[in-house]
Amino acid sequence: MKLNIACIPGDGIGPEIVAQAKKILDRIADVYGHEIKYTDLLMGGAAIDVHGVPLTEETIEMAKAADCVLMGSIGGNTATSPWYKLAPNLRPEAGLLALRKALNLFANLRPAVLYDELADACPLKKEISQAGFDMVIVRELTGGLYFGERYTTQEGGVRKAVDTLTYNENEIHRIAKKGFEIAMKRRKKVTSVDKANVLDSSRLWRKVVEEVAADYPEVILEHMLVDNCAMQLVKNPAQFDVILTENMFGDILSDEASMVTGSIGMLSSASLNDSKFGLYEPSHGSAPDIAGKDIANPVATILSAAMMLRFSFDLDREADAVEKAVKDILKKGYRTPDIMSEGCRLVGCKEMGDLLADE
Ligand code: NAI
Ligand code: MG
């Protein structure tokens, strides 16, 4: 198969971690007989350096022309970087928001996985009765409260601010369909999270999710109110397979779920549209505090590349191989500093990439 991948290394640790992900993809291509063409693109601080803006039209067009985008992270060390001094009003992260919008990436997937080997790092290790958990949050990314009309006004001398939360049935339908399709590739359980006891948008959400569920009889659907979900994520995260939810609830719950694992360097993410196109990136940022030191954990980016193989190319066997390599390397006791514990072997970013490629 020919894989046409647009690559955005970005800022900070971005270039280091993307180099490791490419290493793994190249090995996969060798072993399974695929051909990969990378197109490297500039975005964020790296683009401001060269073009004076975080994202150019040309970059958007080149990203659209690829099968998918693999990204490192965006965001420079604004206090020290020379480009920020040149252009103090430009935010490198604005490039990422504009690119997500231009590519219509309405579905955000954030897996939260706790590996048995890393259970000691989990802040809830005492509370979790079963060892480990493995869930994915499917969050609507281009609608709801963050995209509604908003304004601030005065009424009788009193300041007032208004935000509006709107969803139409088409927006709910397409994200629900995505959630059920993902569940079909996993343990076949969807927990749809809303606030249907209060909000009209949530009542429509629940109705449309039930309509979509009718097309997936093998998948078990349950509904959960968002406040209860926040509690259940801490109490018993192992109960979840796919959490399907709207934009703001998903924003908050996915940060909560990721912290329950205790290791941001392990957490991947994908943003998808209606077709097979997706943007794959680690959940973390550009970590300027550790950039250039060869100590960043490349696993989040490598697992994002595995999601890319699965969702953009339907290469399940290859994605499984990458995910299994991560588990096996952890089992063998190799750790980057962020996940280091007693008795394990400390390795750097590049060495972790080499070990995973060989595994
Ligand atoms: P961050 O995620 O970059 O770093 C938070 C902490 O986690 C730091 O101590 C960092 O060293 C550590 N860390 C992050 N990734 C790691 C990895 N792979 N291995 C080991 N340790 C890791 O968040 P922060 O510091 O709030 O933001 C830094 C910059 O990144 C900012 O400019 C922010 O806007 C940007 N950012 C970009 C995102 C993106 O590209 N999607 C997402 C989040 C933040
Ligand atoms: Mg957030």
Cross-strand bridge partners of residue 38: 5
Region 178-188: mean pLDDT is 95
The closest alpha carbon to 76, from 10, 15, 21, 8, belongs to: 10
Q: Give the residue numbers annotated as catalytic, written as ranges.
A: 146, 195, 227, 251, 255
Residue 72, pLDDT > 90, answer yes
CA terminus-to-terminus distance, the chain = 22
Ligand 1 pocket mutation pick from 284, 335, 346 by most atoms within 8 angstroms of CB: 284
Amino acid at 172: I
Closest ligand, as measured to the CA of 263:
1
How buried is residue 150: exposed, middle or buried, by Cβ count under 10 Å (0-12/13-18/19+)? exposed
Q: Which atom of ligand 1 is nearest to the CA of 76?
A: 32
The closest alpha carbon to 110, from 264, 335, 222, 229, belongs to: 264
Region 153-182: mean pLDDT is 96
C-alpha 285 – ligand 1 centre gap (Å): 3
The closest alpha carbon to 69, from 277, 295, 291, belongs to: 277
pLDDT at 95: 86
Cross-strand bridge partners of residue 269: 281
Residue 264, pLDDT > 90, answer no
Q: Is 289 annotated as a binding residue?
A: yes
Q: Considering only CA atoms, which residue is closest to atom 30 of ligand 1? A: 285
Amino acid at 244: L
| Contact by Cβ (8 Å): 190, 242 | yes
Region 281-285: mean pLDDT is 93
What is the band of 65 on the pLDDT scale with cuts at 50, 70, 90?
very high
pLDDT at 128: 63
Q: Work out the mean pLDDT of the chain and round it to a whole number.
A: 92
Residues above pLDDT 90, as percent of the chain: 77
Question: ipTM exceeding 0.90?
Answer: yes
Residue 213, pLDDT > 70, answer yes
What is the band of 199 on the pLDDT scale with cuts at 50, 70, 90?
very high
Residue 79, pLDDT > 70, answer no
Residue 202, pLDDT > 60, answer yes
Region 278-306: mean pLDDT is 96
The domains found in the chain, sorted by start residue, are: 1-106+267-359 (3.40.718.10), 123-261 (3.40.718.10)
Q: Is 290 near ligand 1, meaning CB less than 6 Å away?
A: yes
pLDDT at 3: 98
The predicted-structure confidence for 112-138, as pLDDT tens digits, reads as follows 988 888 877 677 766 665 567 899 999
| Contact by Cβ (8 Å): 237, 135 | yes
d(CA 202, CA 189): 20
Residues above pLDDT 70, as percent of the chain: 95
Region 16-25: mean pLDDT is 98
Closest ligand, as measured to the CA of 249:
2
Q: Is 265 near ligand 1, meaning CB less than 6 Å away?
A: yes
pLDDT at 321: 98
Residue 358, pLDDT > 60, answer yes
* Pairing, β 68-73 against β 2-10: parallel
pLDDT at 255: 86
pLDDT at 192: 98
Residue 307, pLDDT > 70, answer yes
pLDDT at 130: 55
Q: Is 299 near ligand 1, meaning CB less than 6 Å away?
A: no
Q: Is 345 annotated as a binding residue?
A: no
Region 91-104: mean pLDDT is 86
The predicted-structure confidence for 310-331, as pLDDT tens digits, reads as follows 999 999 999 999 999 999 999 9
pLDDT at 259: 83
| Contact by Cβ (8 Å): 245, 193 | yes
Residue 285 phi, psi (nearest 5): -95, -155
Residue 298, pLDDT > 80, answer yes
